[in-house]
Amino acid sequence: MTTTTKSSAPQQGAYDVRDLKLADEGRRRTEWAEQFMPVLRQIRERFAKERPLKGKKLSACLHVTTETANLAITLKAGGADVALCASNPLSTQDDVAAYLARDHGVRVYAIKGEDNESYYLHIQAAIAHEPDITMDDGADVVGALHMIALERLDDLAPPVRRWVEGLGKTERRRLISKVIGSTEETTTGVIRLRAMAKEGVLQFPVIAVNDSLTKHLFDNRYGTGQSTMDGILRATNLLVAGSTFVVCGYGWCGRGFAMRARGLGATVIVTEIDPLKALEARMDGYLVMPMADAARLGDVFVTVTGNTHVIRVEHMKVMKDGAIIANSGHFNVEIDLDGLAKAAKGPRAVRDFVDEWMLAGKRVFVLGEGRLINLAAAEGHPASVMDMSFANQSLAAEHLVRQGGTLPKAVHRLPVEIDRDVAALKLASMGITIDELTKEQQHYLASWDAGT
């Protein structure tokens, strides 16, 4: 098992990182990522001149990686006072956290391998920053703020609840009323936020950055596709060619991962619950079957559904000896690890990020404790893809400020022009130009009587 790190309550106004001495390495690596983030760099240059986020407090709960560092530096260039906590206990890069805290005055609360208590103490610190804008990857900060607003304190994680219980009613109310809006990075977070909007409990507008085309078409598909494979290979050093991969979920992430597994020579089986996606997977050339059948055939299983208990003990029992199971969906609930712990003997750490369990006389290997494997065992998405995701995040924060609190309390997409601008900037940075509509074509596309 990966060791966890305890941390005392972070001091407000300070930071809680593993070791500031790691900052030089964090700087080197963040600068390396920066060269692959030309769109974000252009936004940063404009932000530095225009300061659209001046005077705003922003609390971000994101994977603390070199790409996120470039986002945080951009938000600071725009004038924001930034607090940053991790959106997953295993995804923090400690050198990056140190660099942001030491050289950029970002209030970073994140330590790789932090235990549950510290994870939530860090979320609490981000909330105690009293943000005007929150930026989530999985809706943890927004979720906690809403539990406070709705006085559902029992639903808060204990460290946050203890802190909130010490606050007066006015202080609690202020935490919510101050927020002009929030942005959300991932599919799972957007699903939660839509559920909140549907129940009529959403307290402020949210921009679903994940829904921008320049986010999910590239980040979820090409980013997750490649980095999930990277995480699995770093953890196992497996030869992909000749093996059978089972990909659970054929959404944006699943499509990307299946494509990469096939590219490296694996036979790919897809499991789905949506007939349209299942049909698409079959037409794309993959085998499609229920998990109960796939479980017997796979060598490596990867969940990317955003759903819970997709791989259960009944499936693990019939897997081949030595089957490898990984998750790249947002939460560590896609594999029934509690069920496994009850039914199996283990875990025995056999390599970094590889736990062996003995189940029904056979070995099952779980990677990265079932947490997103691309961040637990690798470095997350390549910078070039995060360039577009984080360009969207920066522009979403600017959009919220420019709207001046006038957006309805709902889940919004970023305007389509912003999507187009981001795509155009990215193409330009790649040295690619495209055609423009001629006058004749514009007329043709706008008329209903031409062309027959």
Q: Which residues bind ligand NAD (CB under 6 A)?
A: 186-188, 216, 220, 224, 248-254, 271-274, 277, 304-307, 310, 328-330, 372, 374
Q: Are 329 and 301 in contact (CB under 8 A)?
A: no
Reduced to 3 states (helix: H, G, I; strand: E, B; else coil), residue 337 is: helix
Give min distance, CB of 216 to ligand NAD, in A.
6
CB nearer to ligand NAD: give 149 or 259.
259
Q: From CA 265, how far away is CA 449, in angstroms rounded?
A: 51
Q: Are 80 and 60 in contact (CB under 8 A)?
A: no
Give min distance, CB of 296 to ligand NAD, in A.
16
Looking at residue 180, its amino acid is I
Give min distance, CB of 254 to ligand NAD, in A.
6
Beta-carbon count within 10 A of 388 CB: 25
CB nearer to ligand NAD: give 10 or 251.
251
CB nearer to ligand NAD: give 326 or 400.
326
CB nearer to ligand NAD: give 81 or 140.
140
Give min distance, CB of 9 to ligand NAD, in A.
29
Q: From CA 376, how far away is CA 374, in angstroms rounded?
A: 6
CB nearer to ligand NAD: give 118 or 224.
224
> Which residue of this chain has its Cβ atom nearest to ligand NAD in the complex?
251
CB nearer to ligand NAD: give 186 or 394.
186
CB nearer to ligand NAD: give 117 or 211.
211
* SS3 letters across 130-148: CCCEEEECCCHHHHHHHHH
* Structure-token pair, residue 323: 């089957």
Give min distance, CB of 224 to ligand NAD, in A.
4
Q: Are 12 and 48 in contact (CB under 8 A)?
A: no
Beta-carbon count within 10 A of 8 CB: 9
Give min distance, CB of 345 to ligand NAD, in A.
27
Burial of 176 (0-12, 13-18, 19+ CB in 10 A): middle
Phi, psi of 251 (to 5 degrees): -85, -155
For the chain, how many residues are written? 452
Give min distance, CB of 321 to ligand NAD, in A.
24
CB nearer to ligand NAD: give 176 or 289.
289
Place of tokens 């496994």: 340
Give min distance, CB of 93 to ligand NAD, in A.
14
* Structure-token pair, residue 315: 């499936």
Burial of 67 (0-12, 13-18, 19+ CB in 10 A): buried
